[in-house]
Amino acid sequence: MFVLILGAPGSGKGTQGTILAGHLGIPQVSTGDLLRAAVKAGTPLGKKAKGYMDQGLLVPDSVILGLINEILDSEQARGGLLMDGFPRTVAQAMAVDRILSAKGHRVDRVAMLDVDEQELAQRLLGRAAKEGRSDDNPQSIQQRLRVYHQLTAPLIAYYESQGVVRRVAGMGDINAIQQRLRIAVA
C-alpha cells in the first residue's frame, strides 16, 4: 500500500505518519528528515538544500526528483510506503505516479490532515522553542505556510481527480486523530 500524508507544516504529518506506518506495517519515509540528515552530514545534497530550507522555500524539483526516485526505487519501498513530505508539488506528484506505475503500483490513499491556520502557527512556534529546528522561526514559518498554499495544496485537487483523497480532522487528541486516520486509509 502506498499512502501519502498531506498537510500544512505543523499539521502532524510526521507524528501521525510514524504511528500509522507502524500500524500498516509499511516503512515511513520523510523527505524533510532525509534532507535534514543530509544537511547535518554536509553531503552535496545537503549543501544544495540548506539555504532553501532555512528560508522556508521548497528545495527545487530538479534537486528533489533524484531523491524521490532513489526512495521509490529502494528495496524498502517494494511492498508499500508511507510518504511524508513528498510529493509536494504537482510536478513531484506526476513523477511519483510515473515511477510507481512503472512498477505496477499507484498512490492508493492520500490522507489530508486538516488543521486551522492559527493552530499551525502555534504548534510550529512551540516546536521551535523545544527542538530548535533552524526553519522554525517566524519568517520561515510564514513562508512555509505560503508555499504550502501555493504549491502543495493544489495536490488535493490533483489526487481528488483520482478519487483517493480522505480528509481527516487534525485537531485535538493525538490518539483520536490516529483513529480517524486509520479509518480514512482503510
Residues that bind ligand ADP (CB under 6 A): 9-10, 31-32, 35, 52-53, 56-59, 64, 85-86, 88, 92, 135, 144
- Core vs surface per residue 5-30: b (16+ CB within 10 A) or e: bbbbbbbbbbebbebbbeebebbbbb
Spatial distance between the Cα atoms of 103 and 69, rounded to a whole number of angstroms:
12
As measured in angstroms, the least distance from the Cβ of 6 to ligand ADP is 10
3-state secondary structure of 160: helix
As measured in angstroms, the least distance from the Cβ of 91 to ligand ADP is 10
59 vs 165, beta carbon nearer ligand ADP: 59
C-beta of residue 10 within 8 angstroms of C-beta of residue 120: yes
3-state secondary structure of 135: coil
As measured in angstroms, the least distance from the Cβ of 97 to ligand ADP is 15
Known catalytic residues? 13, 88, 127, 133, 144
109 vs 144, beta carbon nearer ligand ADP: 144
C-beta of residue 30 within 8 angstroms of C-beta of residue 14: yes
Task: Determine the residue with CB nearest ligand ADP.
Answer: 32
As measured in angstroms, the least distance from the Cβ of 34 to ligand ADP is 8
10 Å CB burial of residue 167 (0-12, 13-18, 19+) is middle
Which stretch of DSSP H or E encloses residue 167? strand 165-169
